[in-house]
Structure 1
């Protein structure tokens, strides 16, 4: 399967800041790209994007999310710097000394950096002992501000979104490094899958929908907008890579169970069979600390079967890494599962 388009789309999606609740630009981009590919996407009331890729019969909904971790301004401190409230599972220790952008509601955007309070090693003798919590950290704004009123004069207020630099890198050896591969890598893969259908003039052997959700990181991404004829939902999200798991960054992971419980047995079995048919390198794993859009759909009351797959991603919710081989193997699995 051709992966260059997916890598290109990953770069473009990662360049669009889109933490949960601040995803309109990412959704607009998806609408434009899907229309350019020849589809008729629609935007949901929640701000996600849905599209039918064709086919007949019992519906299958493939889901990926374009919302990411991030933060909002919790308060403006007495020194004019910003205390943050995280969005989703953002960890303070994973974004210390990271550049960021503060988006004001009415006054533009400003850059800054998240630092430990009193971050100078030559001054702070307890630098190494300080626990990295958001209460002990602050955004140093790249403007001459020393008082709350000076910060507010810029237009910065409580509730403004703070977005961190993704630092997207594609290495010559095929590794994909970036914040927010969870789950913009899967969104790029689904775009690649949709493009492949058009390029090959192939109709899926069943009716296939895509849903790009925008609230997965806060737990309710796919709790709405499942079409009536859908009997099965499959989340295409990051595959976990870590100690005790089999999957690597070069494989597609098939999740049998996560913190929400087991995935549908028949769906998981069919996904394994499709991976074997396609010759895709895969692993079946259990994720101890994970939840997905598929589970959000079930908790919302939808009577559907559910499954979860994704390219292997290391260092989740930090500076993440995958590989183009993982992208290719995920595409192979999707193709075999829906067209063969």
Structure 2
């Protein structure tokens, strides 16, 4: 088919809406509602798990072996560990991120009372008081506290506001969409992936593109704490492509431009056949791309496999600078990634045996081997 025309304005509009909607892991209901409204507007059938993970189906020319594409809508955040004697709040992180990037963050505290605004500060925040100690204090979550913007002179005043242990803290995204094409924000991991999937789906619906086989578009709600796609798959799915961020940093081959196809992460290699299929699709469709391996990284793919799903998995990413911090991406990478997702959905099924969970050796795959000169 012709080259898909990805609507960049649609993509960035959906991303902006998602970024401005708090959804730390454990507090994702409103983001789920937002996604469901948009899926309904696109005319897609969808269903939710009990806790709110979403699966939407684009019917294919055949039903099996079904494919899945997944991203997560939950983000990093924090939770109240203790209400301190001074009325401020000790925090623990939701997800794995450094308190270095929490210092100075504006945020919203969701408690039994009305939501409260506040700022996360280091314990020694005033240079006029602590002088050089503000630069020498340790970096850890025990060294920060949440100052809420309410009149409180101590622990009892804070408790009276409805604040208590376990309350959720959502960190402001503060997105900026630059004329240069760069997008700077917290929580681009993985709301940029979600927006890219929506843009790919919108294009396929608008251009009346039909997947080769049923393709399930999954949106998970607990990837940042390791659960991800553990409970949203259906048995017919034989292969799943995860959409997430690629870490652009020294020592990595990722880039803020083009698609980065991950060959392995800390859980091990991704499926040999599926990963190479995606690389070949990028070549065939002239989509800029590179490969990378991530040492300290896991995704929805890992949680699905650990939950017992017998599926092929792969990971395609948009390059992100300063992941889990003040993140930056380039919009062109999102367009390239959306194009690759469509190419995958429209690609031929090469391993027909995958339509059955179990079968004989006939049709099983081969990998190149060195015959030792024999």
TM-score w.r.t. length of structure 2: 0.89
Q: Could you give the per-residue CA deviations for residues 33-59 of structure 1, whole angstroms, max 9, x where no partner exists?
A: 100111122111131111101112311
Alpha-carbon distance in 2 for matches of 1:42, 1:204: 19
Matches within 5 A, 1:1-340: 1-55=6-60, 56=62, 57-104=64-111, 106-125=112-131, 126-340=133-347
Segment of structure 1 superposing worse, 234-243 or 208-217 = 234-243
Measured after TM superposition, the shift of residue 324 of structure 1 is: 0.8
Aligned length: 339
Is residue 179–residue 320 contact of structure 1 (8 Å, CA) maintained in 2? yes
Measured after TM superposition, the shift of residue 90 of structure 1 is: 2.3
Q: Could you give the per-residue CA deviations for residues 100-152 of structure 1, whole angstroms, max 9, x where no partner exists?
A: 11011x31100000001131101113111001211111111111212111001
Is residue 54–residue 232 contact of structure 2 (8 Å, CA) maintained in 1? no
Is residue 277–residue 336 contact of structure 1 (8 Å, CA) maintained in 2? no
Alpha-carbon distance in 1 for matches of 2:7, 2:248: 24
Alpha-carbon distance in 2 for matches of 1:134, 1:263: 33
Is residue 200–residue 339 contact of structure 2 (8 Å, CA) maintained in 1? no
Measured after TM superposition, the shift of residue 228 of structure 1 is: 1.4
- Structure 1, unmatched stretches of 5+, are none
Q: Secondary structure at the match of 1:123?
A: helix
* Superposed CA RMSD: 0.9
Alpha-carbon distance in 2 for matches of 1:304, 1:47: 22
Q: Spell out structure 1 runs of 4+ moving beyond 6 A.
A: none
Alpha-carbon distance in 2 for matches of 1:212, 1:255: 20
Measured after TM superposition, the shift of residue 206 of structure 1 is: 1.7
Q: Could you give the per-residue CA deviations for residues 220-247 of structure 1, whole angstroms, max 9, x where no partner exists?
A: 1111121111000111111221112222
Is residue 81–residue 146 contact of structure 1 (8 Å, CA) maintained in 2? no
Measured after TM superposition, the shift of residue 4 of structure 1 is: 1.6
Alpha-carbon distance in 1 for matches of 2:37, 2:147: 36
Measured after TM superposition, the shift of residue 298 of structure 1 is: 0.6
Alpha-carbon distance in 1 for matches of 2:155, 2:38: 42
Is residue 240–residue 253 contact of structure 1 (8 Å, CA) maintained in 2? no
TM-score w.r.t. length of structure 1: 0.98
Alpha-carbon distance in 2 for matches of 1:40, 1:151: 45
Is residue 187–residue 327 contact of structure 2 (8 Å, CA) maintained in 1? yes
Measured after TM superposition, the shift of residue 339 of structure 1 is: 1.5
